[in-house]
Amino acid sequence: MIFLLKIYLDYAKKALIMFFVFAAIIALFLHFFSNNATNTSVSFENQILRDRQRIYANINNPEYQKTPIGKVSLQLYRTFNCAVIGEACTDNPDDGDKNRTHSLSASAVNLMLAPYQNPPASGIGWTYESLANAGFAPSTYAASGLGFTIIRPYMNIWKALRDSSYLLLVLVIVSIGFLIMFRFKINPQTVIKIENALPKIVITLIAITFSFAIAGFMIDLMYLIIALIVSILVHPDNFNDTLAYYYTANPTTTLSLLQSGQSIFNIQSLFFTIPNNLIGIVGKEFDTLLRAITGGLSVAFLTPTIAGYIPFISKLLPKLATQPAGLGFTWDTIQSAAGIGGILIFSTLSFFLGSLVFPNLIIGVLVFLTTIFLMFRIFFMLLSSYLKIVIFIVVAPLYLSLNAIPGRNTLTSWLKNLFVEIMTFPIVVGIFVLGGMITKLPAAQSNGILTPPFMIGLDPDKLSFLLGLMILFSLPELVKLSKQLLLPKPSPLPELGLGGLFGGATTGLDAGMGTFQKYATFASYTSFGSNLMSKIGVNIAGGKPTGPKKP
């Protein structure tokens, strides 16, 4: 009995020690990471206020006003404090904040800071300036560290999760230490796993600490890759303008790039230039045949419709049928001739509309709708990648903390997924540049374009325009294919699209319609509800919708 009691007491002592150690660690983390900065600034401000109150307490001491020596000492005291630290210059204590900047101590501090604010030579500054002069990045970007700067707003969230990950890993390390210190009997395989986990914990701590900086460096790398793509594909004379254009691109820039130099908001480009290029690519024979077919279909469908209005015109003139119309004709004769001539005229107009207007109109409308749809699709694709980048950066500490578990390699997974999502933007830029170059291929170069069998005889200029347009319109699929080649196993994060964005609204609408239908059926059995349903054309109680009553 005593032996068992000793064992229980021993376990209780160990458990109590572990409890106090864990509680102390958690309390220290919560104290230092949450309150350290705030408490430091508050204590500093309180110290200034206490010193100011002490100075004015000495100035307002009535004992110094009783003797001439006290008055002189008081005046010297005020003069010294005002000149050195900017305090006691006036009778108002609040003036000390603005007078402090003109004091001797402030001037001395400014002199000491001058070499640091304006260094005579800086290797870092020289590197930044060299990169900017070489054209790899704009000078403002190179001077400020673009990648780190643009993700700085998320740093506070990242810090909170980083501190939580630190706390978790410290608790794991302390637990391992207790297992070793108290000599717990563990399976030999488990001991080996624990020993192997210690180096991974150290690597995980380093990865968590530098994850934010790594993400900033990878974003800087994104801009460098964009600059390399533009420098390879674009003429050197247009390098700076093209690079600045893509660096400052906005969602409407996508619409401009998809138009490939032909504005869809220009009627001439939309209904003449683009359709004529697409139709005339095969040759004049195909153009003539297509327009003849559309003209015939237009005559077949439009002429009977227009001819149906001729009897209506005849009913308007029954009383004029026998009246003389002049030159020996009656209105009846003119009406008959007008009916036959009207059909011939409308048939001719229908043929010309169908052959000249309808093909261009249909193609123009399709190109317009396709371009607008692609603009939104590309925007949401880029927005989805941007959201994933933010999530990977913010939750990096928690995600990387799983790397300490034996058999898990979340560090490599995090780096690959973040790199692939960041590479979405250079890939889009590369496709836009390549498609634009093919679309605007000069005539002298397009004459020697590849013409394999069954493609001979195509117009080279219009073929290059079509190829470039197809590349631009296939951009989402090309981006998806490129990301699959870089990372065959995609990240578990879902894609952000219109369906996911408005999925909640759709679900709420379906639920609301079901609730409305349930209560509408119940209300139809009441006199008020039945009258209301009948006024809007529904009669649920009768079993059939009756529609509104006709007068």
Structure-token pair, residue 410: 């979340």
Q: Which of 103-107, 108-112, 406-410, 475-479 has the lowest mean pLDDT?
A: 108-112
Phi, psi torsion values for 410, nearest 5 degrees:
-75, -20
Rounded Cα gap, residues 473 and 455, in angstroms: 21
Residues 6+ apart with CB under 8 A from 394: 154, 157, 158, 161
**CB 460, CB 447: distance < 8 Å:** yes
Q: CA neighbours within 13 Å on the CB side: how many for 422?
A: 25
Looking at residue 423, its pLDDT comes to 92
Structure-token pair, residue 437: 């170059």
Statement: residue 503 has pLDDT above 70? no
In terms of phi and psi (left: phi > 0; alpha: psi -120 to 50; beta: otherwise), the region of 336 is alpha
**CB 204, CB 411: distance < 8 Å:** yes
Statement: residue 15 has pLDDT above 80? no
Rounded Cα gap, residues 279 and 459, in angstroms: 11
Statement: residue 22 has pLDDT above 60? yes
Closest CA to 420 of 479, 497, 492, 487: 487
Closest CA to 425 of 471, 472, 378, 371: 378
Most trustworthy range by pLDDT among 35-39, 142-146, 474-478:
474-478
Looking at residue 519, its pLDDT comes to 56
CB atoms within 10 A of CB 98: 10
Residues 6+ apart with CB under 8 A from 405: 197
Rounded Cα gap, residues 447 and 239, in angstroms: 26
Residues 6+ apart with CB under 8 A from 100: 85, 86, 87, 106
Report, in angstroms and rounded to the nearest whole number, the Rg of the chain calculated over CA atoms.
Answer: 41
Residues 6+ apart with CB under 8 A from 219: 146, 147, 148, 150, 151, 422
pLDDT digits (tens, 9 = 90+) for 256-277: 777 655 555 556 666 777 777 7
Rounded Cα gap, residues 102 and 83, in angstroms: 8
* Largest distance between two CA atoms of the chain: 141
Q: Which sign does the torsion angle of CA 106, 111, 112, 114 carry?
A: positive
CB atoms within 10 A of CB 423: 21
Mean pLDDT of 187-191: 59
Most trustworthy range by pLDDT among 27-31, 222-226, 246-250, 365-369:
222-226
Most trustworthy range by pLDDT among 66-75, 427-436, 501-510:
427-436
Closest CA to 168 of 399, 417, 418: 399
Q: Where are the domains of the chain?
A: 216-501, 512-551
Q: Which of 117-131, 141-155, 446-460 has the lowest mean pLDDT?
A: 117-131
**CB 402, CB 410: distance < 8 Å:** yes
Instruction: List Cβ<8 Å contacts ≥24 apart for 178-181.
Output: 178/14, 178/17, 178/18, 178/21
**CB 226, CB 247: distance < 8 Å:** yes
Q: Which 8-state DSSP code applies to residue 152?
A: G
Rounded Cα gap, residues 15 and 175, in angstroms: 11
Give bridge partners of residue 330 from the DSSP assignment.
Answer: 324
Looking at residue 375, its pLDDT comes to 83
**CB 421, CB 392: distance < 8 Å:** yes
Q: How many residues does the chain have?
A: 551
Structure-token pair, residue 486: 């870089």
**CB 532, CB 523: distance < 8 Å:** yes
Rounded Cα gap, residues 208 and 389, in angstroms: 16
Looking at residue 123, its pLDDT comes to 38
Looking at residue 5, its pLDDT comes to 66
Most trustworthy range by pLDDT among 24-38, 79-93, 341-355:
79-93
Distances in Å between the alpha carbon of 300 and those of 294, 296, 304, 354, 360?
Answer: 10, 6, 7, 10, 19
Q: CA neighbours within 13 Å on the CB side: how many for 388?
A: 26
Rounded Cα gap, residues 40 and 157, in angstroms: 21
Residues 6+ apart with CB under 8 A from 437: 233, 468
Looking at residue 329, its pLDDT comes to 45
First to last CA, the chain: 102
pLDDT class for 463, splitting at 50, 70, 90?
A: confident
Mean pLDDT of 299-325: 53
Q: Which of 77-86, 103-112, 205-214, 419-428 has the lowest mean pLDDT?
A: 103-112
Most trustworthy range by pLDDT among 234-238, 334-338, 445-449:
234-238
**CB 378, CB 280: distance < 8 Å:** no
In terms of phi and psi (left: phi > 0; alpha: psi -120 to 50; beta: otherwise), the region of 433 is alpha
Q: Which of 27-31, 67-71, 308-312, 425-429 has the lowest mean pLDDT?
A: 308-312
Say if strands 329-330 and 324-326 run parallel, antiparallel, or are unpaired: antiparallel
pLDDT digits (tens, 9 = 90+) for 340-385: 555 666 667 777 777 777 777 888 888 888 888 888 888 888 888 8
Looking at residue 116, its pLDDT comes to 37
Q: What angle do CA 445, 451, 456 make, to 5 degrees?
A: 120
**CB 466, CB 278: distance < 8 Å:** yes
Statement: residue 40 has pLDDT above 70? no
